[in-house]
Each structure stands twice: as C-alpha cells, then as structure tokens.
Amino acid sequence: MTARRAGWVALALAALAGVRAVAGPAAEAGDEPPASLLSGEAIHGSAIEPVFAHLKLDRLACKFSEQKHIALLARPLRSTGTIYFARDKGIARTTVTPRPEQVVLTKTALRIRKDDRTEEIPLDKSKDLKAFALIFPTLLRGDRAEIAETFEIELYGSDRAWWALAFTPRSDSLRALVRRVVVFGRKGEIVSLEVAEVSGDTTDTHLTDMKKNADVPDAEIAAAFGAP
C-alpha cells in the first residue's frame, strides 16, 4: 500500500472511529452481549442471511457513546454524539463531545466538517478506503454480497438472541491497517461496534435511543446531512 493510500484509510479510521476524542471517564455499562459470544462456533455463507434480513433499513437514527483504547494511554478517549443513516444519502455522524465535528459519508465521498473548515475525500481514490468506510452503511442496507467482496464474514450466535458479525479484510493492504470489525446485536437491533486496528488500538461504539424507518422524520434527516 502506498503512503498516500494508507493515509486515506487512516483518515477513514480517524473520522469514523472517533480518534478526535479526549480522555475521560469510561462510559456507563449497559446491556452487553455475552462475554463468550465470540468464542463459539462461527457460521458462514447463506446461514448468515437471517441477521442481514433484520438489518435492511431505509432510515436509522441513534445516539452513540464511544471509547478509543490506545496502548500508550492509561485511559480511553471518549466521544458522544448522533448517527443518522438514510438509504439514499449515506451516513451522517455528528460528534457533540468533546468538541463538535460532523462526518458525512456517501457512496462516493467522505466529507468532514470541523469549525469553519470542510475537507472532502473522494472514495474512488482508494479501494481500501471505500471498502472500509462503506461497511456500516452497506450493513444497514442488508447487502451481504457487497461486503463479502472485501471482507470475510463470520456470524456468532443466532438472529433469535445475541449475535456478532465479524468482518476480516481479504486484501493484504487493508489487513495491514485493520485487523477486524465486529458488529454486535440482539435479534433485530444493533447494539455496538468494535474496530480493532493492527496497531493494537481498538474503538468501541455503543448505540442507544435507536429509531428506524418511518420513525425518523424528514426534518431530522435534512438537518443531519445538511447541504451537499
């Protein structure tokens, strides 16, 4: 991977996985998946479809609380905010604390707004950037085949209770940066996400106050995504 391509993927990790947090107290413990969930037998192929069927959404809105664990820091970095998904628009993630920032991800570009500055990165600049950045919106569209082009997918648990979808990069270039992405859920609800980087850093994102489809008003979507 060239230094420039590595930089683009690192930017996606930073923008989508909360690197711009500050040290703070740990998030309160909530309803967590079983600790043994990922130690069970993995399920592959079409048997995964029931979970993806639950995740086919037109809209989603939720709050997030995130911790970034960095090996050199004694305490994790923490951030909070909101996430909006719209099938025809993409993902809009607004960080409220520790400082305001907005990331808007479409199928073609990653746009980062901070203070009065906006940076836009075309996703076609790097296949790795595009594959990693689009994994969450592609999951929310329920498109297993598209994700499987770039990631090995394993399911732990069952769509009838707690489950975990583990995504491992197929390409050597992406494996050089991202070890694994795991999405945890229970029945039809996504509960949390974990990004494990090759560096040893991990990011844990917990989702709460979730609304879906018709429960997410047009006005909220428009406010979240703003002007193109």
Task: Read off the pLDDT band of 18 (50, 70, 90).
Answer: very low
Question: Mean per-residue pLDDT for 115-119?
Answer: 87
**Domain contains 200:** yes
Q: For residue range 210-227, what is the model confidence (pLDDT) as tens digits?
A: 999 999 999 999 999 986
Task: Read off the pLDDT band of 10 (50, 70, 90).
Answer: low
Tell me how far CA of residue 43 lies from CA of 153, 194, 207, in angstroms: 9, 19, 25
Q: For residue range 26-56, what is the model confidence (pLDDT) as tens digits?
A: 334 447 888 889 998 899 988 899 999 888 9
**Domain contains 125:** yes
Q: CATH code at 151?
A: 2.50.20.10
DSSP the chain: --HHHHHHHHHHHHHHTTTT-EE-PPPPP-S---TTGGGS--B-GGGGHHHHHHT--SEEEEEEEEEEE-TT-SS-EEEEEEEEEETTTEEEEEEEESS-EEEEE-SSEEEEEETTEEEEEEGGG-HHHHHHHTHHHHHHTT-HHHHHTTEEEEEEE-TTSEEEEEEEE-SHHHHTTEEEEEEEEETTEEEEEEEEETTS-EEEEEEEEEEEGGGS-HHHHHHHH---
Q: What pLDDT score does 222 carry? A: 95
Question: Mean per-residue pLDDT for 116-124?
Answer: 87
pTM of the model: 0.86
Percent of the chain with pLDDT over 70: 86
Q: What pLDDT score does 12 carry? A: 59
Q: For residue range 180-214, what is the model confidence (pLDDT) as tens digits?
A: 999 999 988 899 999 999 989 999 999 999 999 99
**Domain contains 28:** no
Average pLDDT, the chain: 85
Q: What pLDDT score does 9 carry? A: 53
**Domain contains 13:** yes
**Domain contains 149:** yes
Say if residue 2's pLDDT is above 60. Answer: no
Q: For residue range 135-162, what is the model confidence (pLDDT) as tens digits?
A: 999 999 999 999 999 999 999 999 889 9
Domain extent, residue 57, equals 3-23+33-225
Q: How far apart are CA 183 and CA 201, in angstroms?
A: 17
The total number of structural domains that make up the chain: 1
**Domain contains 111:** yes
